[in-house]
Amino acid sequence: MKTVRSPKELKPYSDSWRLKKLRVAFVPTMGALHDGHISLIKLALEHADKCVVSIFVNPTQFAPHEDFDAYPRTPEQDLEKLKQAGANLVYMPTEAAIYPGGTQSRVSTGPAAEGLESDFRPHFFGGIVNVVARLFDHVRPDLAVFGEKDFQQLMVIKDMVEAEHLPIEIIGAPIIRDEYGLALSSRNAYLSAPELEIARTLNRVLKEADSTKSAETALLEAGFDKVDYVAERWGRRLAAVWIGKTRLIDNRPYP
């Protein structure tokens, strides 16, 4: 498994794979890898001959008051996990490699970006399509895998691929949960033991509540400090909640 840091270093790999007509999958990540990410790589390798994984904590998807600086960075452990998972190439670009001429975006978001996350993090999907379009340009994959935990993100990426006519198949991967039903997330690392117990009720409330309103009430009763939203869209019930300083999102099929 090789690690490269710039589009120039990446190119010989993608060129030689293309020449050999190999199918290339791409899994973009921000590192702090857990079993959820590993499941994306496994799924990618079921659909392709080679798998490129990027690790880049993307500044443009964080607002100034958000957790960009605190976001967990565990490169050594990540590389070990990627090796075990069978990734072929790791792309760990510098900020200059991704944003050489500044962070101005050349792509915009489509209808899936409206509402939900955007009501609370207006910068978020703009930053995501900005970085993902650039990563796609560098990696030039045949397919890319995104987790369904960030369900709206998956829909936003599908919009972008369609609008930009990119020849890239987008595959959604099922959410991986711990034994209590908590969706795995790099941000779970922020939770204290009592907060973790509360977090573990999120999926059950989303499953059992009769309506989005009763889900909101049940979440506050379960100990969440704030509910940004509970909503139903794309055949899913989706939520974003706060415990202390940690914001968690989750979703499940609905009805």
Contacts with ligand PAF by CB under 6 A lie at: 28-30, 58, 61, 128, 131-132, 150, 153
Structure tokens at 153: 């993100």
CB nearer to ligand PAF: pick between 133 and 227 = 133
Does residue 37 have an active-site annotation? yes
Q: What's the min distance (Å) between Cβ of 83 and ligand PAF?
A: 20
Q: What's the min distance (Å) between Cβ of 237 and ligand PAF?
A: 20
Nearest-angstrom CA–CA distance, 215 and 224: 12
CB nearer to ligand PAF: pick between 52 and 219 = 52
Structure tokens at 162: 């369609």
Nearest-angstrom CA–CA distance, 110 and 48: 28
CB nearer to ligand PAF: pick between 24 and 145 = 145
Structure tokens at 120: 């609370």
Work out the number of other CB atoms within 10 angstroms of the CB of residue 52.
Answer: 28
Nearest-angstrom CA–CA distance, 251 and 18: 37
Three-state secondary structure string covering 58-103: CHHHCCCCCCCCCCCCCHHHHHHHHHHHCCCEEECCCHHHHCCCCC
CB nearer to ligand PAF: pick between 1 and 133 = 133
Q: What's the min distance (Å) between Cβ of 194 and ligand PAF?
A: 27
Which region holds residue 17: left if phi is over 0, alpha if psi is between -120 and 50, else beta?
A: alpha
Q: What's the min distance (Å) between Cβ of 34 and ligand PAF?
A: 11
Are β-strands 89-91 and 246-253 bridged in parallel, bridged antiparallel, or unpaired?
unpaired
CB nearer to ligand PAF: pick between 148 and 195 = 148
Answer yes or no: are the C-beta atoms of 220 and 213 closer than 8 Å: no
Active site residues: 37
